[in-house]
Structures are given as structure tokens and as C-alpha cells.
Structure 1
Amino acid sequence: MVTTTAIADLCIFLLTWNVGTHSPRNLSLTSLLALNGTTNCPGNQLPDIYVIGLQEVSTKQVLNIFKDDPWVLEIASHLEDHEYFKVDSKQLQGILITMFTKHKHITHMKNIETEATRTGLGGLWGNKGAVSIRLSLYGTGAVFVCSHLAAHDDKLKERIEDYHQIVDNHKYQASGYRRIFDHDFVFWFGDLNFRLSGDSSAWDVRTAAEGMRYDELLKQDQLNLLRETGNAFSLLEEQAPNFAPTFKFIEGTNDYDLKRRPAWCDRILHRVQRNIYPAVTLSATQLSYQSNMEYTLSDHKPVSATFNYKVDTANQTDEELHEMTHAGASTPGTPNNKSVKRIYQEYNVKESL
């Protein structure tokens, strides 16, 4: 019997929230980021890595490539006291993704890249589309995609087209991981805007939601139906939401705005290629999937999930695994170890690399 050792056993916290162009000013994110002792990580420890995706971030301020968005700064202000460091961020108009990590994981992150795809107005406008961060994480290829797809009940065809456009147009430099689904781990989340099929009224949906008849409603969920037919998102898995539809609320309340039928627009999905390397087993066990009803800033509720990201190998280090998985990845423009040094320099952490 081959004995394996876990070279990575991480708790990763994912969050998606359509913030409706609102500023984070004076908003406490302590509960939202599970910094109040309510994490779902093993032993109730804080996550090893945070990946946060936002949609409808305000673009009124003058864009400054040398300054982070106010949301990133606010997230950082909450996490820095717990010794997290920003790995990278990427913004496409109102779509934003950012990653933070505990210090001890920085040297196990290589080949960090970001990418963006516009899908609004046939690919000319970035109000819809996706942003992503990919990297070698403990030797494995991981990608985190945050997307905002076409809105409204009758735009299902456009949402499907958005998905395929993102899959086709997202391209990276890392050898062996040029596209999203080349990666060993894929996490895809955001305001996917999928609604309910059928002709149930907004009042009927609200009544079913208030009665916690989620299974009944999810049978009409467009995303579930698409995954079953293979038209989109079929390569990804999703734990069934056990929370009320997260859209559309009257801002400042927990009351549905019945101008729209309530729907699970905000979703988190994932994919793992578990046994593609000899003597290596990859897994991403989902530990939680929830909405946070106390946040009433926008007409969407934030949705979060935690995953146990695990890499088991037989007599192999993550450096050796990286050489096997990312051989030849140091192409021009790929951050590689320089990105690790940048993280250290940004936070004045003195470390010999």
C-alpha cells in the first residue's frame, strides 16, 4: 500500500457579492469575512486564503492603476490585522476579483496571472464578463473566475453565450494551463444571473422561498437545467443552495422587491481533476455554502463558500509537483517568483527567496 502525505491542506474562503455600485464606507465586513469566530474551516480556524469577487463596483472614481479600489482597501483593512497579504487583484469596469493569503503560503504560490474577458455589447463593453486569477498553488494549477453574466429572465441565451465567450477568450501564459478548464482546480463564482424557468409569479416564488421549499424551486433553476443538458457550466459541480434566493431585495431590507421574481443569481461552483497525475490525489471538499442576510447594502445578498483544498502525494514535494505540472511555465510576461517577491516588498516583509 502506497503511503501518501498531504503537501497542501488548505481552507479556502470564496465570496461573491453584487454591491450595486455602493461604497464600502463605514461598512463592517467582520461577519461577512467570518472574522468573528464563525468560520467553517476545520477547528474553526481562519481561512488560509480568501478569494473575493464583486460585481457592480462603482466606476465613478477616476481609475488609477496604482491605487486599489475602495472595496479592496476595505477588505485589506479587515484582513491585515490577521496577517493576510494581498496576492493580486483584477478589475474590469464593475467586475472585481482579489485574493489574500496567510504569509506562510506566499512562497508556495508561483506563476500568478490575471485575465479579463468583456462580454457586454458583443464583447465591446466590460459591464458584463469575467475576471480571474490563476496560479500554481502548492504545485497544482488553480484558477478562480468571477463573472457577471447578462441580466433579466429572458436573456438565458445571452448568458449561455457569455459563458462560452469567457471560456474561449480567457487565455494564460502558463504552460499546460492556457485555458480555464486546463486547470487542476477551477472555482467559478459571481452574479451569474440565472433565473427560474416557468411562469410562476413573483408572489408564488416568494411564498415557496418563505416556506423553505428550495428543492421545489431549484427544479426550475436555469443553471441546474443547463448543467444537466450540457449547454453551459456542465464541467462544474455545485452544492445545492440551502438558503433563500439571493435576488432581488429592496435595498436596506430583507424584503423581496417583487418587481422581479426571486432567484439564485449569486452562485459558487467548482471542478477538480482528482487523479490526473501519478501518485497524486487532488480534492476540494466543500465545507459550507451560505448567504449572509444581515448585509442589506444592495439588492443582492452576499454568498460565500469554504473548501478544503487538499493535495496528497507519495514521496513528493510541492516544488517537485510544480516542476511536473508547470514545466516550461516561465514564459515572457509570466510573474513566476517575481510575483512572490512583489508581495513581500509590498508589505515590507523581509524574506530571502
Structure 2
Amino acid sequence: MDNLRLYLATYNVGTSNPEQRLQDLLSITNQKGEKYPDFYVIGLQEVKSQPQNMLMDTLFDDAWTIALRNILDHKGYVKLKSIRLQGLLLSVFTLKKHLLNIREIESEYTRTGLAGMWGNKGAVSIRLSIYGCSLCFVNSHLSAHDNQLKDRIEDYNSIIKDQDFHVEETSKIFYHDYVFWMGDLNFRLLEDFERSSEEIERMIQKKDLQRLLEQDQLKYVMKKGEAFSEFTEKDPDFPPTFKFDVGSNSYDHKRRPAWCDRILYCVNSYNYENVTLKVDQLSYKHHPSYMLSDHKPVSADFNIKVFSDYSEHVVQFDRVISWEESADNKAYYKITKDIPPTKDDWIGLFKEDFSSLDDYVTYEYVSKCSTPTEERSLASLERPQKYEVTIPDVPSRCRGNYCLVYFSQSEDKVMSVLGISDPFPIIKTESD
């Protein structure tokens, strides 16, 4: 087994824009020799979601995702996927070196607001497989207010029941090897803990956090088996992350302080014979320097076990010398493992330094642009079949180095990266 390091962060941004530097949210110090995680998984709540913003965000990344990409791009990360449900946003970034071993990327969402009709509350999730293990990440925003504990329990159980994935072995959240759940879960202190906001703040100042945690609604429902009982959470050793006066580190006494913002995990340790899957939590902390909303962000660092000898490289591109802009161009590839192609497989043209799987310049479906280069004979059956692919009409704006990326995609939008070519230049046509 080998280790993968995952960094998760959750932040209720209160419709604010990313006006503070986000390096601290990502725990990036820029010190020499700093080691970065294999994955960043960022869950946000209350991202600005007026109709005009929602339209733009379906076409382009929102301001928060752009700010995160601007940082992580320089560290060698690629955005695998984002999913948005009104104010809920979940993004998964991976080091580029892992792309060819990531499979079956899929997202889901569940509305729980207004009895399931409105997405102001609910959950978004992204699942994937890597090095032989399946992972599911959930970002949720549950019902608010001290007295809505029953609604939060119902929200959780609705999400668990509602979410269905199209990868047969992991069609439900808890069928995955590893599950990580984060968000503004909105659990408060128990109603019968009759302390005012001011009294609770004095306990916080005295660092009497353990006594407060004994009154935490989330811990209470986990023990009773009503919600989140499948999960593990390290006890927060940081102060409650809600509710603050915006722009300050002072509690707003209109609400009692509470640990609304949480990160939990679940591991199915014995899914495989002779192997024990494991999660080691390396950190769990808040980020008090952020004052953009009435919440403080929370992050957690984990190591998980995956199969060290697991390799998924399937499509190998031949070296491309160069392509010409505004022309039809060809490339060649072979499939090194027996995989069933789908009618929705496609090949995208990307800039060499692409930072998102959404950033293709142009694309073609394999069924339309790819043909075998030779008839299969008995003498050639042992060799991988080679294919010729034609990408027509490369846009004239393309200059510099590019690469080809082969995607397998099912009718249900489950996506895998099967191959990436070496970089090659696109040059002006001679007529130019």
C-alpha cells in the first residue's frame, strides 16, 4: 500500500468575494522544500448566487474557483471537477502527475430546502477512483438555527438516500472505500444547555472547549445513531467557528457560538482481502484570519492508503512533431489495455500548462475523428491496435505548446482520463 495526502477545507463565505489571499486557507507557506498534498478538496457555502451570477457561473468559473486556480496552477495542480448548487460549491484539484490514474469522475447533488424543492440547502458531491480505491467527497449546507436539530437529521438522511452514482459498485455514498463529508452542517449547542452567548464566550476565553463539546449537537446525534454515526471526527481543539461580526474576530451575540463548520471521514477498512484501508488525520484547524463572513474556515489534512502497484495508463499517443493552426491535423495513438470504447469518448486539445479539465481549446468525439491505421491480421493481434485521429480546423488563435487528452465518457457523464500526449507546438501555416 502507498499513501495519498488529501487536504480538505470548508468555508461559508456569506456571499462575499475572495478579497483576502487564500494561501492560508490552503495552508501554503511558500517555504523552500514545502511538500504539497496530492489532492485539494474545497467546499464552499453561500457563494453569491443571484440569477445573473448563476448564469455566468454555468459558463465560467466563479470568482472563488478562479482565485483558487490562480494559486494551485503554479503548484502543479489541475482542477478535476467542480459542481455548483446555488450557493453550494465543491471543487477537487489534483497534482497533474496523478491524472492518468484517476477514473470514473462523477458528481451528484441533492436539494433539501423547501422540502427538497429549493437548493439553498442540500449537498453536492464528487466521486472518483484512484490507484484502485474509490473516494467520495460531500459538501453540504444543512438547516440552520438551534431549534432545527430534527431538520438537520432529516437533511442528512435525505442526502444519503437520494444520491445515486452510475458506477455500479459505488452507486451510494457509503459504498465507497473512503468518504469525506464537510460543510456548514449548522449543528449548534444543545437547546437545554441554558447558557447565553456571553457566558459561552467566557468559557471559550477560558479554553473550556471540552465542556462545550459535550453540549455539541453533532456529537449528540452521532452517539444516538440519528445522523453521521458512520463517520469519525477528530474533536475540534479550536474555538467555535460561528457566529462572528463580519470583518472581525469578535463573536456576534445575536447567535450562540457553535461549531457549525465540520469535516468528517468514513473508511470501509476491510473492502479488500489481505489489505486494510486506513485514514490518518494529520491536522484539524480553523483559519481565524479570514473575516469575510460570519464563519471561519476549517481545514483538515489526511493520509489515506491506496494500492502502490496500481497503474491505469491505457491510451498512448505517438510523439507529435508539430501541428499547424487553421488546418486539419493528425495524431496517432494505441490502446494498451482492452477497454470497451463508448460513443461519447472524446479527445480534447489543451494548452500544455492547462489547469482544468474544462479548459479544452477544441475537441472531437473519437467515433467521428478516429480510424484504425491497419487491418487486423493474425500476425498483428498481439500488438496494440494503432489509431489515426484527425482534429479538423484547429483555431487560428492557437500558438505555443499544446497536448492531446483522451477522455472516456459514459452516457451518464462518468468521465475518466485515459491518455495525455507529450507537448507539441502549433505553428503558423506557411501561407501566413
1:121-140 residue CA offsets vs partner (Å, 9 max, x unmatched): 00000000000100112111
Match of residue 17 from structure 2: 23
Give the greater-gyration-radius structure (CA).
Answer: 2
1:263-291 residue CA offsets vs partner (Å, 9 max, x unmatched): 00000000111122013221110000000
C-alpha distance in 2, partners of 1:223/1:140? 28
TM-score, normalisation: structure 1: 0.88
1:242-278 residue CA offsets vs partner (Å, 9 max, x unmatched): 0000000000000000110000000000011112201
The unaligned stretches of length 5 or more in structure 1 are: 321-328
Whether 1:352 and 2:421 are equivalent positions in the alignment is yes
Helix, strand or coil for the counterpart of 1:282? coil
Match of residue 147 from structure 1: 140
1:183-211 residue CA offsets vs partner (Å, 9 max, x unmatched): 11000000000000122111111111111
C-alpha distance in 2, partners of 1:242/1:265? 14
Match of residue 305 from structure 1: 300
The number of aligned residues is 332
1:168–1:33 CA distance, 2 compared to 1 (3 A) = same
Match of 2:37 among 47, 50, 55: 47
Shifted more, 194-203 versus 64-73: the winner is 64-73
The unaligned stretches of length 5 or more in structure 2 are: 314-338, 351-355, 362-401, 405-419, 423-432
Match of residue 10 from structure 1: 4
CA-based RMSD of the aligned residues comes to 2.6
1:338: how far off?
A: 7.7
Higher helix share: 1
C-alpha distance in 1, partners of 2:149/2:119? 19
What residue identity is the alignment partner of 2:357?
A: I
1:261–1:251 CA distance, 2 compared to 1 (3 A) = same
Higher strand share: 2
Contact 2:133 2:307 in 1 (8 A): no
Match of residue 213 from structure 2: 218
Match of residue 35 from structure 1: 28
Contact 1:173 1:331 in 2 (8 A): no
C-alpha distance in 1, partners of 2:341/2:256? 48
Helix, strand or coil for the counterpart of 2:80? strand
1:62: how far off?
A: 4.4
Contact 1:112 1:336 in 2 (8 A): no
Comparing both chains, which one has the higher relative contact order based on Cα–Cα distances under 8 Å and sequence gaps of 6 or more? 1
1:155-210 residue CA offsets vs partner (Å, 9 max, x unmatched): 00000000001001011000110110111100000000000012211111111111
C-alpha distance in 2, partners of 1:338/1:270? 35
Helix, strand or coil for the counterpart of 2:111? strand
1:1-353 to 2 correspondences below 5 Å: 5-6=1-2, 9-24=3-18, 26-37=19-30, 44-60=34-50, 61-64=53-56, 65-197=58-190, 198-312=193-307, 317-319=310-312, 343=357, 346=360, 348-350=402-404, 351-352=420-421
What residue identity is the alignment partner of 1:153?
A: D
C-alpha distance in 2, partners of 1:237/1:330? 39
TM-score, normalisation: structure 2: 0.72
C-alpha distance in 2, partners of 1:21/1:331? 43
C-alpha distance in 2, partners of 1:209/1:193? 19
Helix, strand or coil for the counterpart of 1:241? coil
Contact 2:9 2:43 in 1 (8 A): yes
What residue identity is the alignment partner of 1:224?
A: K
Shifted more, 230-239 versus 196-205: the winner is 196-205
What residue identity is the alignment partner of 2:239?
A: A
> What is the percentage of aligned positions where both structures have the same residue?
45
